Structure 1
Amino acid sequence: MISIVLAEEGFSPPDTPRLFATTRHHRVFLAWDNVAEASIDSVTGYADFEGYRIYRSTDFGETWGGPNQRLYDYEGNFVGWKPYAQFDLTEEEDEDFCLYGSDCGNNDPKRGIEISGPDPVNPRFSLGENIGLEYTYIDSHVTDGVQYTYSVVSYDMGLRTFDVEFVWDAGDSTWIADTTWSPSNPDHFVGPDSLNGKPNPTLGYPSLECSMGSSQDDLNFVTVIPGYYASNVSFPSEEEIESFFIRQESTIGTGGISYIIVDRDSLSSSIFRFEIQADLGSTAGEGMACEDPVVYVYEITDSASQSPTDFDYSFGTDTLSDFQIDSLLDLPGATEVGSEIFIPKYRSITNVNRDSDILDGIRFRFDNIQDFIPEDQSALVDTVIWSADSSTIDAMKGVLTYFNSASFNRRLNFDYKIELFSAPTDSTSSQFCSSFFSRVPMRVSNITTGRQVVLKHLDQGYSFPPPLSAEGFGDCEWTRNEPLVFQGDTLVIDSVLTPVSTFTLKTDFDLEVLLPGLKDWSTSDNYIEGDMVQQRIMAWEAIEANSGVEPYSFIDNDGDGVNDSPWKPYYPWSDGEYLIVKMKKFFTDGDAWVVDMSEFGKSHEVTKDDLDLIRVVPNPYIVHSAYNEKVGSRLLRFSRLPNECRILIYTITGELVTSLEYSDPYEGNLWWNLRTGRNQDGPEVAPGLYIYIVEADDLQHVGKFAIVR
């Protein structure tokens, strides 16, 4: 007999996340913590968290959307709102979610099922689409000067119970009910037999979300007004991130770094070192430890010495094995002094490709380059630097691909130099060539290792797979579009120099563009030195007079295996030209950046250019503008102000209307209620034209605005 636990009421929603919000021009940045993910239901004892919903309001939470965002049940009753955005656990995260709490081992019970789509007990609400959790959200669909209210709620998966399947028992000639319980409910809890006055046949319970809040006193409820920062205050944009996250000299990885300001009041003047800790893969070359990268952050005394300011632990080396000592010293910032190893106090430890916890008012994220080989195996090239004539650059079309998935998995954090020659120079092994080697007009070096790369020429002609009649097939000459395999890219693997195949290079060029009007080779023509012809896919130059000799012929007059043809292939480059191919690179153990937090929101001396940015919005001011007004509360906004200034407002005849003192460490927006008097508590001003003067330091900015009834 299966025992069940009846739980008709008392189910609890997850804990309420704490929401932070900051703004800038046409942006609202939201960030929240993850405390809800450790929530335990008060009835079942299950960890039933599932995701987060974001709601947005333009009337301080009286409504959370327009008519299309309202949700109604099947009888037409209003039951809630569609979220503005939603994030939930992925399928894998759902299945592996610890059933009785976040601190569990491999053998402890897991949820065992994925949760997505409509709530089976309350189908008007979606449980998500397995898109993964986020802890930040950037709302770019906002207007400066308009008030927005946001709530971020956590929600659970609800209670799943059982499915009943009727199976025919031929022996007893009857149907037998076969009950299968959800693996997410091993203790067999059931809910009430009715919900909202309607039968509840599965005895499940709907998903619950925490309260949306009703004021800014609530953890997950914020109201903000987007607008410009103060004109003399700077925060790094996406394009300027490298000027704040200062890349250290030995850093290899080229992945992305981003951040958002979560709490401007918590910004500090600390200096931090961000350092990657990663493992060495079994097939990685040159010690490129790129697996499972984690970002460690610790505070340092200065950007020169980069000594940690605080230490959490110390270990005496006398009692440690060599392996233990090496492991400790491998930790970021670890320092050995005498017979002790000191471990810094880590302010943040965050996996790459994940948002960090809040660090002194910011939340950062390191995103690695993609960790799977592209479908077409194209190499992840960052930049190509040419040292060649522009005509050469315009003519060439190159494609670099990974040799195979195994080469990609070696984490090839290398750059290459490809030298170009006007005639075939280096001999390489060759496939499809009868002499088994060819000469090619290129030489490749691995710049990172300092070693020349041995090439293999696939003499397959212009197209692949190569039919025997393909143009260029088996002619023992490199011709355009034939692959060159980086077959001998010699790397140190397990302390041994090992030649491995890493990339394949194809190079093509357009003869019609380079040599317009080029004539085909003819058996009946006589050619002199310097004549140019086309045969099949290549152009050829006569290096001596000849007649009737095919340019594609392989002629070995002296038996040395070298082509003695009176023709040489034409290449659209000159001796000495080259290109540098810089690859995108995985974050690697020891990569580091230094960040001076005092640079975030740093103010500079006000300049005339700063004051020229000031705007009055709306201008002209028309009663009942879009700026959150109510009768008796007119609002006009001075935007892009410096963070410390005074505003004097005059009538057109020079009478002082009011003066406004402004001081804010970061914001550049001041609201005026259109009232006179020192405290703006006098009568409203009359319609007309007004002059304003902004004074900051020893500078002034004069402007005007109009008020229209």
Structure 2
Amino acid sequence: MKEKHLQTGYLHWLLLFALLIGVQILHAQEDIYIDPNRGAKEFRKELIMNSNKVESIVGNWGIFGKVNHPYSGVWPKGTGHGHVHEMTILVGAEVTGIDGQTYHIISDSYGDFPDRAPDGTEYFWNPKPGYANDHRIYINPNTGEIDSTSLIATSTDKTTWPETWPGKDATWNGRWNGYFGKDQFMADQECIYVMDDFTNSEFPYYPFIADSTRRGLGLQCETRMFQWVHPLAEDQIFIHFQVTNVSDYVYDRNIYFGAFADTHPGGLGASDDDSGFDKKMDMVFAWDHDNIGVWTKYRDILPGYLAWKYLESPGFGDDGIDNDDDGLIDERRDNDAGEWIFGPVGDYGEPKWHWSGDEDGDWDPQVDDVGSDGIGPKDPNYDAPDLDGTEGNGKPDQGEPNFGKTDNDESDQIGLTSFYSPHYGSVYISNDEAIWNYIQPGVFETPAQNSNNLWIFASGPFLLERNQTERFSVCWLFGEDEREIYRNAVTSQRIYDNDYRFTKPPLQPTVKVVPGDGKITLYWDNIAERSRDPVYGYDFEGYRIYRGTNPQMTESQKISDAFGNIVYRKPIAQFDLKDGIKGLHPIAMGEELGEEYSSGIHYYLGDDTGLKYYYEDTDVQNGVTYYYAVVSYDKGYYPGMDDRNLVPMSPSESPFKFTYEYGELKEKSVNAVIATPNAPATNYKPGYTDADEYGNISKVNNSSATGSIKVKIVDPDILPDQNQFQVSFSHILNELGEITTKTYTIKNLTTNEVIFDSVEIPIDPATNAPVSSWNTPIFSGMILSFENKFPDFDIIKAVSGWSGDYKTNLIPEIIKSSQGTIPMNVAIEITDTLASHPFKKDYQVYFKVYDFYTNDSIPFFFSYDKNGDYKIGEGDQISLIAPTGTGKLVKAYKITFNAPTDPNVEVIDPQPGDVFYLKSDSPFKEGDLYQFTTFQSGLLEVGKEVLDKVAVVPNPYVVAASWEQESVLSGRGERKIYFIHLPAECTIRIFTQNGVLVKTIQHSGVASDGSATWDLTTDEGLEVSFGIYIYHIEAPGIGEKVGTFGIIN
């Protein structure tokens, strides 16, 4: 549906975005595949959608939320605030049974008080086989455990995909079956399943003439869900249904598509639900009457609103009425290209030449003629043209962007036609006749307010021919208040109307964590910098680091919009490109929809700090567990970009997640880590390198480079032992003779592995030249920091001159002969014999000119020899010569040897042994080599006295110490104490005062962590009582220690 009261002002907005986007990101399925397989309960699978702030269990039999599940419509993610008991789609139709009677059949999957056959079979939708991996094996990177749970196929987990996809050829094998095309990942999370209603055998209706075992209404339904993490869409799950009539009968405008739900906006058990609807917005919504939830955790987070909004519904393409008020009559999404005509395109612009099947005229052959698989040469994972010849054929085909199935404007939609909200228990989904009555057009009643109520709503009736497919899309959305739920509804409609074209954040960096003593170090890779946004292209900008002491990182949720809604997090650190794009982003969040929807809050892009790949957090307390996320973010729209008339969008940042089930960590994203700082083992020796005390690594040849390279150890425990690394460079020599460092290469000489091969130096946008300082990504537990130096003529004049015990009093004057400043480090040494030839001369002079780093001769002109004696004297001039990138030579510097300024001072000419030095900073260049060696972590030999440092914290233990992690969902959290300053290997035994052994702990963790925890339970798993306890520590080869601690109430 379009919001008819908002549409007019934004049609131009949508048209520009759709026509001029420049990349193709859309693809619905090719011709609808009618799957001959039969759905069955044994193929049921679940999935938790949680790639933005909405977190919910969904089932591939048409349910959203699930009875008594901890993740049933949770918002915001991580709070445990479930808003839905359960919801199911429903399709209802009026049919004639074989007994001649009229029946109203409702196909649904509601799990509370379900409708069952006498043999217990549920009259449910059931999933068809083949759309997920039934033999999934997933190794949890957090725990190492093997997870064989079969899940709904989701774009974020390749282990959920089947080997082959039903209805797809072999080129799709091992590829993602995306709505947007083969292997196209344009949403942050997408899932897919296909189901049918063949087990609904309640009434004597047989939709298949030749098969009495397939019952229901004879429907097949493909379901897809999408989540985006962008702040504009972070409170929504988009759901797209494709319902196909595979039966032998026509449903002639006697069929409805809707849903049945038990919502609880204040939490399960609340009995003060309110519900409402907005026919113009095609939306139903609910809120808690007093806005106070029943949850025991995060009670400061109010229940807010939840809603379901029709974005697309079945349309009438033949009634002669403009049902969706878009200026087009009877547009369709299942037609062919038609004819090339000149004519109107409704509210989508002025009359124009277009294909008649492309009713809104937005198919653009320059960018949309990509073929029926929906991807073209500019799209990620493109491999070859379509086998059916549709790519580049000059006309729109089904599956291409902005046409037919993928163009959401090409359907004359009817929208929300009924909504009924009765008291819970007054209507049951198993009563087909009652449900039928409530989904009739024009039924809009909310009799049960401030009570435990239900939702029953639908769109219809519509026509569904044999083998015809109708689509409808809804958005499940949340918001803090009524204003935000409406704003989110407008956002979701805009995203849908634009064919789900939406910006996507950069890829998540993979983050590692190193806990230390009073510090935690994070480091990450640079994969995010290669991300390509479907709207703006390569638009990576920087990294932000968030920290908290709970998985929700509530401490970082500090930045609110003009209406008091928390929108952004406050980072503890931020690193961005040195590209001149900094400060507040010009577009306020929400302003994309129009100024009246502006939230008044702008994303902060950074300060042009330059990128870093590690962060050392010293504002931490030993023993406290911290949660971190390193997110990558993009530029969004910014002034001066090659915008191609794209709609301005605010930046987006990559998501992160910590998924807990019943208090146990089940999953975390690659950019999220958990760490507890503690002192290292008392006999721990961290890895190190042979760099100097400041971290500088050494040159291994007579390099003239004056910059520095420092090694920073980030993760000492993964440094390879006695491995030698070498750094080399390449450079460019320009037409002026100036040297510019182009690339660096790092090689492990011990293993012969090239770590970084010819990596280009980052460019400074202010100068369009390589930057002078940069860092490598992390490798082998360390990073290198480069500080490059370039010649400065003022510095050259200041530091050059006679050196050592010289005798002359002539004053050298240096003049730059070239337009460029050429790096040269030259010695002019006076000799008592003929020593060198000036450039292209056959005579010799009494001095030599050479590079004082390499001792290589430097070509020169003896430009002026006042006395003609081939010696340097008063007034004589020498010109130094340097090569250029064009192959020619240039005069770099002219040196004139002037007499003292005091005319009364006797002139003393240079004597043999006097040396004049011209010194300049020189950048890294080809031939410069640096090397260093790494040494692994190990253990020191220590005496018994190190056990004196062992301590128990907290001591005494009182109920809940400040560093204890709260339970993720409920309760007081873990109970634990720490033994700190332990040796790397030891045994801890805990006794009561009476000498009864309570617990034995074997400490043999990494040497960098000298702590062990005890959860206050015995070896038998029983909780210990309050009192005084004795501990005994035995460290092989070191000694023993005995101490006490207390546990008090």
> Displacement of 1:355 after TM fit?
3.1
> Displacement of 1:63 after TM fit?
0.8
- Which residue does 1:536 correspond to in 2? none
> Displacement of 1:239 after TM fit?
7.3
**In 2: Cα distance, 1:619 partner to 1:374 partner:** 62
Does the C-alpha gap of structure 1 residues 250 and 445 become closer, same or farther in structure 2, counting only changes over 3 Å?
closer
Corresponding position: 1:30 with 2:370:
no
Task: From 661, 675, 688, give the equivalent of 1:224.
Answer: 675
SS in 2 for 1:668: coil
Provide the aligned length of Structure 1 versus Structure 2: 479
Task: From 480, 494, 498, give the equivalent of 1:8.
Answer: 494
Task: From 54, 79, 85, give the equivalent of 2:567.
Answer: 79
SS in 2 for 1:91: coil
Task: From 901, 918, 943, give the equivalent of 1:608.
Answer: 943
Task: From 646, 651, 670, give the equivalent of 2:987.
Answer: 646
**In 2: Cα distance, 1:680 partner to 1:487 partner:** 91
Flag the structure with higher strand content. 1
Task: From 231, 243, 256, give the equivalent of 2:709.
Answer: 256
Task: From 1035, 1040, 1045, give the equivalent of 1:695.
Answer: 1035
> Displacement of 1:662 after TM fit?
1.6
Corresponding position: 1:354 with 2:748:
no
**In 2: Cα distance, 1:362 partner to 1:661 partner:** 28
Are 2:684 and 2:938, in contact at CA under 8 Å, matched by a contact in 1? yes
- Which residue does 2:783 correspond to in 1? 364
Amino acid at match of 1:707: G
> Displacement of 1:76 after TM fit?
2.2
Are 1:147 and 1:628, in contact at CA under 8 Å, matched by a contact in 2? yes
- Which residue does 1:546 correspond to in 2? none
Does the C-alpha gap of structure 1 residues 252 and 605 become closer, same or farther in structure 2, counting only changes over 3 Å?
farther
Q: How does 1:273-288 map to 2 (within 5 A)?
A: 273-279=725-731, 281=733
Amino acid at match of 1:117: L
- Which residue does 1:155 correspond to in 2? 633
- Which residue does 1:91 correspond to in 2? 579
Unmatched 5+ residue regions in structure 1?
Answer: 93-113, 162-181, 191-203, 303-307, 310-344, 388-399, 418-443, 454-484, 505-551, 564-575
Are 2:637 and 2:650, in contact at CA under 8 Å, matched by a contact in 1? yes
- Which residue does 1:54 correspond to in 2? 545
Are 1:234 and 1:603, in contact at CA under 8 Å, matched by a contact in 2? yes
**In 2: Cα distance, 1:142 partner to 1:656 partner:** 34
> Displacement of 1:296 after TM fit?
1.6
> Displacement of 1:22 after TM fit?
1.8
Q: How does 1:652-663 map to 2 (within 5 A)?
A: 658-663=999-1004
Identity, % of aligned positions: 20
Are 2:689 and 2:933, in contact at CA under 8 Å, matched by a contact in 1? no
**In 2: Cα distance, 1:643 partner to 1:620 partner:** 22
Unmatched 5+ residue regions in structure 2?
Answer: 1-11, 19-492, 590-600, 660-666, 762-772, 806-811, 830-848, 859-874, 897-901, 967-971
- Which residue does 2:513 correspond to in 1? 21
Corresponding position: 1:184 with 2:672:
no
> Displacement of 1:499 after TM fit?
10
Are 1:641 and 1:669, in contact at CA under 8 Å, matched by a contact in 2? yes
- Which residue does 2:211 correspond to in 1? none
> Displacement of 1:257 after TM fit?
1.5
Does the C-alpha gap of structure 1 residues 594 and 256 become closer, same or farther in structure 2, counting only changes over 3 Å?
closer
Are 1:55 and 1:84, in contact at CA under 8 Å, matched by a contact in 2? yes
Does the C-alpha gap of structure 1 residues 613 and 211 become closer, same or farther in structure 2, counting only changes over 3 Å?
farther
- Which residue does 1:686 correspond to in 2? 1027
SS in 1 for 2:658: coil
> Displacement of 1:149 after TM fit?
0.9
**In 2: Cα distance, 1:268 partner to 1:158 partner:** 41
Are 1:488 and 1:500, in contact at CA under 8 Å, matched by a contact in 2? no
> Displacement of 1:349 after TM fit?
4.1
Task: From 963, 967, 971, give the equivalent of 1:627.
Answer: 963
CA RMSD in angstroms comes to 5.7
Q: How does 1:106-125 map to 2 (within 5 A)?
A: 114=581, 116-122=583-589, 123-125=601-603
Does the C-alpha gap of structure 1 residues 293 and 684 become closer, same or farther in structure 2, counting only changes over 3 Å?
farther
Task: From 634, 637, 645, give the equivalent of 2:978.
Answer: 637
**In 2: Cα distance, 1:402 partner to 1:666 partner:** 59
Q: How does 1:98-109 map to 2 (within 5 A)?
A: none
**In 2: Cα distance, 1:260 partner to 1:4 partner:** 50
Corresponding position: 1:411 with 2:823:
yes
**In 1: Cα distance, 2:701 partner to 2:944 partner:** 35
- Which residue does 2:618 correspond to in 1? 140
**In 1: Cα distance, 2:760 partner to 2:941 partner:** 40
Are 2:825 and 2:851, in contact at CA under 8 Å, matched by a contact in 1? no
Q: Deviations over 1:13-42 (max 9, x none)?
A: 223332222222233222233333343444
SS in 1 for 2:528: helix
Are 2:704 and 2:853, in contact at CA under 8 Å, matched by a contact in 1? no
Task: From 658, 676, 699, give the equivalent of 1:214.
Answer: 658
Q: How does 1:305-316 map to 2 (within 5 A)?
A: 308=752
> Displacement of 1:292 after TM fit?
0.9
- Which residue does 2:162 correspond to in 1? none
> Displacement of 1:585 after TM fit?
6.5
SS in 2 for 1:8: helix
Task: From 918, 923, 926, give the equivalent of 1:589.
Answer: 926
**In 1: Cα distance, 2:733 partner to 2:988 partner:** 62
Q: How does 1:355-434 map to 2 (within 5 A)?
A: 355-359=775-779, 361-371=780-790, 373=792, 409-412=821-824
**In 1: Cα distance, 2:944 partner to 2:730 partner:** 46
Amino acid at match of 1:73: D
Does the C-alpha gap of structure 1 residues 206 and 346 become closer, same or farther in structure 2, counting only changes over 3 Å?
closer
**In 2: Cα distance, 1:676 partner to 1:622 partner:** 14
Higher relative contact order (CA 8 A, sep 6+): 1
> Displacement of 1:500 after TM fit?
7.4
- Which residue does 1:707 correspond to in 2? 1046
**In 2: Cα distance, 1:33 partner to 1:674 partner:** 35
Does the C-alpha gap of structure 1 residues 77 and 645 become closer, same or farther in structure 2, counting only changes over 3 Å?
same
Amino acid at match of 2:564: G
Amino acid at match of 1:132: G
> Displacement of 1:641 after TM fit?
3.3
Q: Deviations over 1:525-554 (max 9, x none)?
A: xxxxxxxxxxxxxxxxxxxxxxxxxxx994
Amino acid at match of 2:503: S
> Displacement of 1:700 after TM fit?
1.2
> Displacement of 1:234 after TM fit?
1.4
Amino acid at match of 2:616: I
